[in-house]
Every structure is written in structure tokens, then in C-alpha cells.
């Protein structure tokens, strides 16, 4: 099965961004489409390929990797977050006396922060 997975991945790489239908994969590789379907499911669950819906057909393509030179978030993105100076932080959490879900200060900060991002 490992060899079949590698063959499928190579065929999808060669197909590029257009991807391939399962039938096209079967024709290219000489593998029965019934054998390809579970391999496709495994590769999708591993995050190695993804499905691209095209009308009523489903094409499969190689999942693109995260760009290495993308800007990573930093602490400056959290500027002003009330959690950093909250006196209740030690008992804050899910099913705790205090929770981020019910915190008015956090809600207000998120609201003002989101307001800046959308304007």
C-alpha cells in the first residue's frame, strides 16, 4: 500500500493545481479505482492531500504547505490583552469559577480589537 500511496502522491504532484479525479488516477497508475479510494481517504486524513469540489466531481490535489517566510504572530499581537494582568488568572478556565467565555474584560478587548481590524 505504501508504494500505491507514493504513486498517487507523485501523480497528483505531476497534475499540479488542477488535480485528478479518482478515475484519472486509476487510468494513469493502472490501479483499480476501488483500491485507490481507501488510500485517498488515508492520505486526506494525514493531511497530505485535499479534495477540490468541481461541480459534481471531486478532484484530489496535493495539500500546499505553509509558506516558510510568512510572518509569525508575536506577543505584540496580544497588546492590551486583559488576561496578562488579571488577578483571577489562577482560577480562570473551562469549568472554573472564572472563564474566558464569561469574562467581560476579555469580551470588550476582543470587541475593540476586532473593531480596529475591520475598519
- Which of 32, 65, 34 minimizes the C-alpha distance to 48? 65
Judge if 82 and 56 occupy the same domain: no
Domain annotation covers residue 68: no
Predicted confidence at residue 56, as pLDDT, reads: 66
Q: Which residues pair with 98 in a beta bridge?
A: 92
Predicted confidence at residue 54, as pLDDT, reads: 66
Domain that holds residue 83: 75-118
Judge if 56 and 81 occupy the same domain: no
Predicted confidence at residue 67, as pLDDT, reads: 43
**Could you say which of 14, 33, 62 is where a domain stops?**
62
Give residue for cell 475598519. 119
**Could you say which of 41, 62, 83 is where a domain stops?**
62
Predicted confidence at residue 33, as pLDDT, reads: 84
Cell numbers for 36, please give them.
485507490
Judge if 57 and 80 occupy the same domain: no
Predicted confidence at residue 117, as pLDDT, reads: 45
Domain annotation covers residue 97: yes
Predicted confidence at residue 118, as pLDDT, reads: 43
Domain annotation covers residue 69: no
Predicted confidence at residue 79, as pLDDT, reads: 76
Domain annotation covers residue 81: yes
Cα separation, 98 vs 100, in Å, equals 7
Predicted confidence at residue 76, as pLDDT, reads: 64
Please give the tally of structural domains in the chain. Answer: 2
Judge if 57 and 91 occupy the same domain: no
**CATH of residue 34:** 1.10.10.10
Residues of the chain falling short of pLDDT 70: 1, 54-56, 63-77, 112-119
Phi-psi region of 32 (alpha: psi -120 to 50; beta: other; left: phi over 0): beta
Judge if 57 and 85 occupy the same domain: no
Amino acid at each position: 500500500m505504501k508504494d500505491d500511496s507514493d504513486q498517487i502522491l507523485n501523480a497528483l504532484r505531476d497534475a499540479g493545481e488542477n488535480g485528478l479525479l479518482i478515475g484519472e488516477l486509476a487510468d494513469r497508475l493502472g490501479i483499480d479505482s476501488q483500491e485507490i479510494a481507501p488510500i485517498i481517504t488515508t492520505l486526506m486524513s494525514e493531511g497530505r492531500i485535499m479534495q477540490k469540489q468541481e461541480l459534481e466531481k471531486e478532484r484530489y490535489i496535493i495539500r500546499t504547505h505553509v509558506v516558510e517566510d510568512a510572518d509569525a504572530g508575536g506577543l505584540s499581537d496580544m497588546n492590551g490583552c486583559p488576561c496578562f494582568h488579571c488577578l483571577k488568572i489562577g482560577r480562570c478556565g473551562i469549568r472554573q469559577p472564572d472563564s474566558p467565555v464569561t469574562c467581560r474584560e476579555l469580551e470588550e478587548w476582543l470587541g475593540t480589537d476586532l473593531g480596529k481590524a475591520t475598519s
